[in-house]
Amino acid sequence: EETRRRLEAIMANNFKRVYDKWVSGTGKMMRDAAYVLAVERVYKAMKLRGWI
């Protein structure tokens, strides 16, 4: 039950982030917004590691 509740919260939060990015005009499809968020996460991780 605890695992399901935590997973549901994570998924709801991530859906909201994708939806907000999509509404802000990132692309025509929500898939584009999800892709942009994924690339941003990779960019931030690489920057923290000093790779860029």
> Into how many domains does the chain fold?
1
The reply to whether the predicted model has a pTM over 0.85 is no
Q: Are 19 and 37 in contact (CB under 8 A)?
A: no
Range of the domain at 39: 2-48
* N-terminal to C-terminal alpha carbon distance within the chain: 41
pLDDT of amino acid 45? 98
pLDDT of amino acid 13? 98
What is d(CA 16, CA 45) in angstroms, rounded to the nearest whole number?
A: 21
Q: Which residues contact 19 (CB under 8 A, 6 or more apart)?
A: 30, 33
3-state secondary structure of 27: coil
- Note the pLDDT tens digit of each residue in 7-51: 999 999 999 999 999 999 877 899 999 999 999 999 999 999 999
What is d(CA 28, CA 16) in angstroms, rounded to the nearest whole number?
A: 17
pLDDT of amino acid 25? 87
